Structure formats: structure tokens, C-alpha cells
Amino acid sequence: MPIEVILPKVDMDMSSGTIASWYKSEGEMVEEGEALFDIETDKATMEVESPGTGTLHFVSAKEGDIVPIGQSVAWLFAEGEEVVEPAGSGVSTADTVQAAAVESDTTEEPIVVGSPVFLSGTRATPLARRVAKKLNIDLQSVGGSGPRGRIVRSDVEKAAKSGTASPPPQTITVGGKTGAQKTADELGLAYTKVPVDRMRSIIAARLTESKSTVPHFYLNADLQIDKLLEMRVQINLALQNTDAKKISVNDLLVKACAAALKTVPEANASWDGDSIIKFDDAHISVAVSIDGGLITPVVRNAQKKDIQTISSEIADLAARAKTGKLGSKEYQGGSFSISNLGMFGVKSFNAIINPPESMILAVGQGAAQFVPDNEGNPKLATVMSVTLSCDHRVVDGALGAVWLKKFKELIENPTSLMLN
């Protein structure tokens, strides 16, 4: 019996993956455990090992193909085994269906593009398909917990409950172009059409979901950061003759966020449909800009870590994020996010919550300005504007304000950040 090579589930929320590159080619001998191909998930690239030893045949997914988890991508034949194409090999994904639909530009008849509930490439039980249809859920957006990624009823119901599933694609007109493209064509405007890659589509989906389903409200505050900057100078001076990397303002902000969450634990929580999940520790997601998008690696248990540890962890996570080498657990499961655009000269901004977290802190540039001193005289200070975005289902206005007040105290009197 030939061994089927399937696209494995390597990431918790993964329903499909992109074949980034093949290490082996058709007809090549592969040992069990050898690297076979790279799979690109939402935010990272993973190496997939060969499930057995044999010669690689019937590779049905080429580099760049998006394949649902559990689908066959190739077969391995043992030595001496007759190489006959096994039943069920061959790729059939939403993408191929959609591509075919877009290419056939000759008819204007409306058709349903790849009603995914019936896609042959998705492994799902008949009941799962039935329930998905009833709940209007796209099986492609559901992860399967069964053998080889098979989707069963409970997977569909879980996805529906958690709101992670998306509805099936709607009816569109073949050859139908998007609004922007259509207008540009009509007006004869020059443009370049750039296909959306996986990360961009995930960012689009997640943030659309966040902005349209999470009730945001925003709290602003101006922080005087002179003492913080002074402390940073002192720390870095102390580190001058050591191997340790200098700490940044951002590292101190992460530490302050964690410390504030420790003091206001009610705010360290997530909305979970019929309950609120309160985290015991502060897991701070740090937005890192990478090629083509952004990713939010998590500093775990940040309230328990000293500034140097936080600093070196962020440096490591950011470096690996830029080369796509983060494991899925390293960018999932945060309880709070921080996004800093101060280095771009941005004064202040409102960030979109990173679900399922319920708060994100948007940090602007620290700039010199006059503020009144105790006697009412102008005093030059470095002022940084921050905006806290809150999910009102979990964090009420007063709670958000209490957290922000604590954060402000910590930043303006930063000595306590040195204590764990």
C-alpha cells in the first residue's frame, strides 16, 4: 500500500496551508522523517517531515498551492511496489475552483464560486457537512479534529460557537471585478493588480471581524516620560560594558503594561461567547512589522520577568518573526497587545483590538512640550500620547480607566518597574 502524504495541521486555527517549497521531487527516494516540504501557515513557515520511506509520486500540490488540511498532496511507494495512481489523489481546492471561475471570462451568468461545503478536497463527515450547511458555515474555515484532519460535527459546532468560522462564499458574477478595479477600468486608470497573499488575507479577515464584531471604545492619556527616559539611560549606562543588549523604551512599556495588568487583573481577560476567560498571567503581544504584514509574538508571563529578560525575549521574537521562524504557539494566546508607532513620528492613533484579547495600547511618539509645573509655570517635558482600545464586553469604561491610570503612574514613576 502506498503511503499517502497529506497536508498536516500544524497550527491551532489552521484550516489550510500553502505549500511553500518542496525539498524532494517526483521519483526521488525519501526516508521517513526527512524534510519533505515547507508549509506556510497564517504567520509562519514550517517544515513537514516525510511520514514514511519510499519514492515520491503523484505530487498533486505544487509550490504556491493553497491546500486544505488533511488533503492528499503526494504518495510514497515502497521499493518494488507497483506505481499506480491511488484513488482520491489529485488536488481540488477552493483556490483552483475560484481560479477556474475567474479565468472563464466568457459568460456573464452568475455562478456560486466553490460552495465549499461540497468541495471534494475537504475531509468532513456527512453529518459535519449537513450541520455546516444548516449553520451556513464554510467548512474550509473549520479545523478538523478527526483522523487526518477529518472535520466532524463537534468541530463545526465549536467553530460556530467561537465565531471563528466564516460563511460560504456568496454568489458572484463570473468575470466580475471588484469595485475598485471596475471603476479604474471604466475611467481608463493605470494600475497594477497585486494578488492578496495568505498573511494579508488573514489580517484582513481578523481585523474586519474585530472591528465589526468587537465593541471598541478608546481612552487617551498623555504621559510624561522624562523619568522613564532617564531611567533607561541609567540602565543602559550600567549595561555599557556587558554583553547585554541595550533596553528600549518599548521594553519598558511592555514591562509597565504587564505590571499594570497584575494590579488590575480584571482587565487581563478575554470574551469567550458565554463566559469571560480571566488569565492568571500577563501575556503581552508585541506588534512587529514584517515583510508584507505584521505579527504579534507574545512575551509570556511578562509580569514575572525583569526588564532585561523581557528585552532579550522581544529581540529574539522580533528577529525570528522577520525570518518567518516563529512557532504558532509563540504568536497565539496573548492577553494584551501593544503597538508602538512612535518611531515613525506618529503622535497618537487608535489601534484595532487583536481578538480574542480585549485591550490594545497604541503608543505614539514622545515629544517635547510645555506643561504646567506645580506653580503653574511652563515646564518643558517629554510627553507621550497613548490610546487604550477596549472590548466593552469585557472591560467597562471605568475598568479601562483604572488600568490606564495605573499604567500612567508606573510610566511617570518608573522605579517600581525595576522590582518584580
- Closest approach of Cβ 147 to another protein, in Å? 6
Phi and psi angles of residue 333, each rounded to the nearest 5 degrees, phi first:
80, 30
Q: Which is nearer to another protein, 156 or 361 (CB)?
A: 156
d(CA 20, CA 43): 12
- 404 CB contacts (<8 Å, ≥6 apart)? 219, 221, 386, 388
Q: Which is nearer to another protein, 1 or 187 (CB)?
A: 1
- Closest approach of Cβ 284 to another protein, in Å? 35
- 253 CB contacts (<8 Å, ≥6 apart)? 338, 340, 361, 363, 411
- Closest approach of Cβ 154 to another protein, in Å? 8
Q: Which is nearer to another protein, 131 or 310 (CB)?
A: 131
Q: Which is nearer to another protein, 126 or 345 (CB)?
A: 126
With b for 16 or more beta-carbon neighbours within 10 A and e for fewer, the 95-110 pattern comes to bbbeeebeeeeeeeee
Annotated catalytic residue within 57, 216, 283, 392: 392
SS3 191: coil
Instruction: Catalog residues that contact another protein under the rule CB under 8 A.
Output: 125-130, 145-147, 150, 152-153
Q: Which is nearer to another protein, 144 or 364 (CB)?
A: 144
- Closest approach of Cβ 12 to another protein, in Å? 17
Residue 86: Cβ-neighbour burial (10 angstroms; 0-12, 13-18, 19+): middle
Kind and range of the H or E element at 208? helix 198-213
d(CA 256, CA 407): 6
- Closest approach of Cβ 104 to another protein, in Å? 31
Phi and psi angles of residue 160, each rounded to the nearest 5 degrees, phi first:
-65, -40
d(CA 210, CA 380): 39
Q: Which is nearer to another protein, 152 or 360 (CB)?
A: 152
- Provide DSSP, 39-53: EE-SS-EEEEE-SS-
Q: Which is nearer to another protein, 24 or 129 (CB)?
A: 129
- Closest approach of Cβ 130 to another protein, in Å? 5
Residue 392 is among the residues annotated as catalytic for this protein: yes
- Closest approach of Cβ 122 to another protein, in Å? 15
The beta-strand segments (E) located in 249-311 are: 269-271, 276-278, 284-286, 288-290, 293-295, 298-299
Residue among 297, 295, 305, 283 nearest 357 (CA): 283
d(CA 41, CA 11): 7
Q: Catalogue the active-site residues.
A: 392
